[in-house]
Amino acid sequence: MNSVLLRGLVCGVAAIGLTAGVQAAEPRVVTMNTVQIFGSIDPAKISDYTDYMASVNLYDGLANVDAKGNLVPELAASWEVSPDATSVTFHLRNDARFQDGAPVTAADVVYSVDRLLKINLGPANLFAGVLKPGSVTAIDPHTVKFTLLKTFSPFLATVPAIRILNSKLVKAHAGADDGQTWLSTHTAGAGPYELKSWQRGSQMTIVRDPKYYRGWGEGAIDEVHFIVTNDEATVRSMAASGELTMTSQYQSPDTYDQLAKSPRFKVVKAETAVAFDLKVNSKAKPTDDLHIRKAIALATDYDTIRSTILPGGELTGPLPKTFAADYLQGPAPKFDLDAAKAEIAKSGYAGQKGIPLTLTYVSGTKFEEELGLLMQSNLEQIGFKVTLAGEPWNRVTEIAAKIATTPNITEVFFGPTYPSPDSMFYTEYDSHASGTWASMEWLQNPDVDKLIEGARATGDAAAQGKLYKELQKKLIDMQSDVFIETQLVRHAMDKCLDGYAYVPMQSFDYAFHKYKWTCR
């Protein structure tokens, strides 16, 4: 039973569960809904917000990230960068242990990185051309050295994406696929929580490891139960019954408003670096035409979206203003159907009626459906014929793999997977990163690639900032996306639960080791 339900019952059952005169403490259980399934728990294959949500609880990395985007120690107690910035040496904590009690060693780090690069999925694209098998070496059991193939200025920011595996345990279950089959249902980490159960598509439960090497504070959360549902009525019903402790960050404004009136809930808010865009396939007709992409942007009613459908912050280009030093303030996007018609008249589709467009959103997500209907109405007023398709998230990730199956327009949230502008630019726009849900624009543009690579290769902050701003201007001019807003994260949380703080790295704010239950 959820601890929330027990708060009003303790007095009536105080005598139950007594052993030798001592009452057994009830576990502190948090139940949270997620709006999409957990696709993978294998650290070499994680890619989206629920995958990382599981990973940050089940595994630890060499370093973590705090709410300001600073790198902080985790499995590594310290590190130093070589004068030429081509190598980094990490010193592991002497007391770091995996969940089975085995010590974390440099050999485990080497194995984890080599396996990640070999499988070449998930976070591996962050290290393309930067690391290769053999680039990471064990100096001694507690010292590991990363030797980069070239200068890569954001390298330290990417390190938390590398989750460290118990190499002996994985090798014992390696099979013919480097443990991919076994790690699809088991874990081998040093994280604060262990996997208790996982029913793909419906729920996941993780439980606190009492022997966690970094220890636990007062009010530690004993168990987290993730329920997969994006149905607003279900979320409200779970909240009303006492089952739900914390909502996802993707509920409708009506749900947050309703739960805010409940005496049991508070609504926490945070501005984020997460962008909500309409990703536009630049290689599929008719959105391969720049004027068509500009027409779609001009047919977007930004004020209605931000004020009514999904409140959020201003977004004028591909980079949120959170990255202040490298941010280019572009012109505010405007809603102007006459100007949109003028762009169509300049396009290769001038004079054509019923120009076909496909627009995909995540099925069951009320606000995304409302946005899709608004876009359909606006676009059909100016000569398009829009086919709306609600798809489950796992299907969206599948169709993103090929140009031919990627829709003309897809509604997508994307935030930094590590605290650097490079995370936004490389993952979404570099040709090497094509074929994922994050890169449904299919730009594959040599000039864009050159700017991204140039910013990665320099350690000069001023030169890097100049390149980032040039890149933003180019992407805005190309109308790579329709830039709608930055996400305003909101969670309805039980008033007894504390610990949420936005972290500019994907789902690192849902590491429940940092949360606590404040009521007795």
Q: What is the CATH number of the domain that holds 512?
A: 3.40.190.10
- Note whether residue 257 is domain-resident: yes
**φ, ψ for residue 504 (rounded to 5)?**
-80, 50
Cβ atoms of residues 409 and 375 within 8 Å: yes
> pLDDT tens, 311-327?
999 999 999 998 999 99
Residues 127 and 80 in one domain: yes
Which of 153, 177, 201 terminates a domain? The answer is 177
Euclidean distance between CA atoms 125 and 139, whole angstroms: 26
Confidence of residue 31 (pLDDT cuts 50, 70, 90): very high
Same domain? For 7 and 120 the reply is no
Considering the domain boundaries, does residue 451 fall inside one? yes
138: helix, coil or strand? strand
260 lies in some domain: yes
Are 241 and 344 in the same domain? no
Residue whose C-alpha is closest to residue 161's, from 56, 40, 275, 80 = 56
**Same structural domain, 284 and 135:** no
Rounded CA separation 310/252 (Å): 7
Query: If 0-12 CB within 10 Å is exposed, 13-18 middle and 19+ buried, where does residue 411 land?
Result: buried
The pTM score is 0.83
Q: Tokens 């570099």, residue?
A: 430
pLDDT, residue 330, reads 86
The pLDDT tens digits for 63-81 are 999 998 899 999 999 999 9
Task: Check whether residue 122 and residue 261 sit in a common domain.
Answer: no
Domain identity same for 440 and 497: no
pLDDT bin (cut points 50, 70, 90) of residue 24 is: low
User: What is residue 221's predicted lDDT score, i.e. its pLDDT?
Assistant: 98
CATH number at residue 345: 3.10.105.10
- Flag whether 47 is in a domain: no
Phi, psi of 321 (to 5 degrees): -70, -5
Measured CA to CA in angstroms, residue 83 lies from 70, 139, 157 at distances of 21, 19, 18
- The closest of 385, 368, 412, 409 to 275, measured between CA atoms, is 412
Contact by Cβ (8 Å): 90, 137: no
The reply to whether 141 and 283 lie within a common domain is: no
Q: Give yes or no: residues 203 and 343 share one domain.
A: no
Instruction: Read off the pLDDT band of 514 (50, 70, 90).
Output: very high
The answer to whether 441 touches 318, Cβ cutoff 8 Å, is no
Q: How confident is the model at residue 412 (pLDDT cuts 50, 70, 90)?
A: very high
**Is the domain of 506 the same as that of 381?**
no
Both structure tokens of 194: 């262990």
Is the same domain home to 366 and 232?
A: no
Whether residue 327 sits in one domain with residue 447: yes
Domain that holds residue 496: 3-38+181-270+490-517
User: Helix, strand, or coil here: 367?
Assistant: helix
Could you tell me if residue 411 is inside a domain? yes
State whether 500 and 461 are in the same domain. no
Number of domains in the chain: 3
